[in-house]
Structures are given as C-alpha cells and as structure tokens.
Amino acid sequence: MTIGFRFNSNAKIVNQKMSNMVARQMPFAQKLALNNTAKNLVARNKRDMNRIFDRPVKFTLNAFYFKPAKKYESSVTIRRKDMVVGKHYLEVQEEGGARPQTGFEKALSRNLAYSNILRHATPASVRRNKNGNMTPGARMQMLSALQVARDPQQRSKKFGRTNSGRQNFFIVDSADKSAGIYQRYKKGNVKKLVNFHSNAIIYKPKLRFDDRMMMYGKAVFPKKLQEAMRRAMATAKLR
C-alpha cells in the first residue's frame, strides 16, 4: 500500500492578500514619508541660513514652513511666510537683483532735504543689535531729530538737540563718501552714524533655496519612505 500526502499551497491567495495590504498601507506610508521629508528639509534650511547669512534674525531663520500632506496626496509644499508689509527680502537673496528700500530709507529719501540721490542708508557707527542691524530706537531717534519720520507726531524739534540747544544730529549733503547722518557731542566731537548711498545695492543669488531643497529631497525622501513603509506594514493586518 502506498501512503501519500498532498499539500496544496495557497500562495496565490496569500500573495493577493499581501498585495492588498501593501496597497491599503501605501497612502499612509506616502503621507508619512512626505511630511517627515518636509520637516527634515525645513530643519536643514534653517541650519543653512546660519551659514549663508551673517547673524540672521529669527524671522529669517523661521521664514519657511510646510503644510502637512494629507492621505492620498502625492506632494508636499514648503512655503515662505508672508511679511506684514512690503516685498519679501528673501526673494532678492534667492534670485539676485537690487535690494528694496527699507522703511527707514524711504522716510529719508522722501522727506529729507537732500540735494543728491539717496537710495540706501547703511550703518557706520550707529547703535546696532546682536544681528548687526540698526536698533529701532536709533532709527527712530534719527528720523525724529531730522524731522523726517513718516508720522508727523514723531517729528520732534527738541529730540535731536543737546541741553545747550545745539543740533545733535545733522547730515552731510555730498556726492562723495562723506554723505550721511552725523552726531555732534557736547565737547564738539563728531561721529558718523549712517552712510548714504546714491547707487542701488545689488545682491547676487545667494539663498539658492530651490536648488538646495531639490538636492536634499532626492537624498532624504527614499529613506523616509522606507521607514514609513516599515512602520505601516508593522501595524497592518493581513485580510
């Protein structure tokens, strides 16, 4: 007598169930990978900002964010935060070109009695903050003393004078490097606070945000997708 045993494989059914399970989990894994990649890229960009710029302010460091992708979405976008007013300065750093005037420069160029072209005003020995920029207080003091503040109520005839009545702040109206805002002290000493520039300040492309994010994204996303798939499959049910 021949004893036999036959076992029929259900591999076809199992393979189909595995395929179904992967298909069910793929949208979740894709969403997770996209969001983790975007989070990684935002952090890398913040790190790069400290290298690209000299002592960037917090707004610059945190200028980019991402809106999390939802299930079944195949892309995620990293966006730049909008400024309250004016054109965003990071666009000039990305594309290059002329730097727009600041509010301080606009107030000077529009309201100051100055015979030459005044496009930009840069710090000389004026008070600066830890980021190397003129402090708001210093800007307001000069604008008020020179009576060119955009708000007429902030224009004070006494604000820029010493106790003896002498003008404490004054300008040198010139077409050369001496042009700018100066401060006179009680002992007669004079210090240049701000430089005036007649030519536009031109920036070369420096930020290169798109190029950097594309390079980082190509390296980061495959790894994040593998991690997301492992997580998705670990919690999946075969059915």
pLDDT along the chain (239 residues), means of 10: 51 53 74 92 95 90 91 87 70 86 92 93 93 90 86 58 61 93 87 95 90 93 90 70
Task: Find, among 13, 84, 17, 76, the residue nearest to 42 by Cα.
Answer: 76
pLDDT at 220: 93
Looking at the structure, tell me whether residues 172 and 223 fall in a common domain: no
pLDDT at 12: 59
pLDDT at 17: 53
Residue with tokens 């006494």: 158
Looking at the structure, tell me whether residues 188 and 207 fall in a common domain: no
Helix axes 209-234, 11-52, angle to 10 degrees: 150
Assigned domain for 2 exists: no
* Number of domains into which the chain is organized: 2
Looking at the structure, tell me whether residues 108 and 189 fall in a common domain: yes
Looking at the structure, tell me whether residues 178 and 215 fall in a common domain: no
Answer whether 69's CB lies under 8 Å from 35's CB.
yes
pLDDT at 163: 45
Assigned domain for 5 exists: no
Looking at the structure, tell me whether residues 39 and 61 fall in a common domain: yes
Assigned domain for 1 exists: no
Looking at the structure, tell me whether residues 110 and 179 fall in a common domain: yes
- Structural domain of residue 189, as residue ranges? 100-200
pLDDT at 238: 55
What does the CA dihedral 209, 212, 214, 216 come to, rounded to 10 degrees?
-130
The b/e string for 47-82 (b: 16+ C-beta within 10 A; e otherwise) is ebbeebbeebeeebeebbebeebeeeeeebebeeee
Assigned domain for 107 exists: yes
Assigned domain for 182 exists: yes
Looking at the structure, tell me whether residues 81 and 119 fall in a common domain: no
